[in-house]
Amino acid sequence: MAEGRRMGEKKKVMVAMDESECSQYTLEWTLQTLHDTIANSVLVIFTAQPISDYSCISAYPFDAHEKMRNLQENQRLVATSLFEKAKEICGRHGVKALLMF
C-alpha cells in the first residue's frame, strides 16, 4: 500500500484534455492501456484551455463587461463540449469519469 493513502481509498488517475485530436487519442490510449488500473481507481478528466487574452477589452470601455461575459461563456461552452466528448469516449470503454472544469 502506498504511503499517504488510507485503507479503502481509491487511486486517482487524471487526464487533461484540450480541443486537439491528440487529447482524444491520449484519452483513448489511457483507457485502453491502463484499463485494469482505472477499473479500481477514480478517473478525473480536466479541461485545459488556453488563457484568454482580455487586453482587447480595455479598448472598448463601454461594453467591456459584456465582452468579458461573452468570453467566459465561450470557455464554458468549449469545456462542456470537451466533457461530452470525454463521456462518450469513456462510455465506449465502460469507464465512468469525474469531470472537472
The CATH number that applies at residue 86 is: 3.40.50.620
pLDDT at res. 1:
44
Measured distance CA(60)–CA(64) in Å, rounded:
6
Tell me, yes or no, whether 78 lies in a domain. yes
Q: What is the mean pLDDT of the chain?
A: 81
pLDDT at res. 33:
92
pLDDT at res. 31:
92
Measured distance CA(101)–CA(47) in Å, rounded:
6
Measured distance CA(41)–CA(27) in Å, rounded:
15
Grid coordinates given for 43 = 478517473
Which stretches of the chain drop beneath a pLDDT of 70? 1-8, 52-62, 101
Give the total number of structural domains in the chain. 1
Do the beta carbons of residue 13 and residue 42 sit within 8 Å?
A: yes
64-82 pLDDT, tens per residue?
777 778 888 888 898 899 9
Domain that holds residue 78: 12-100
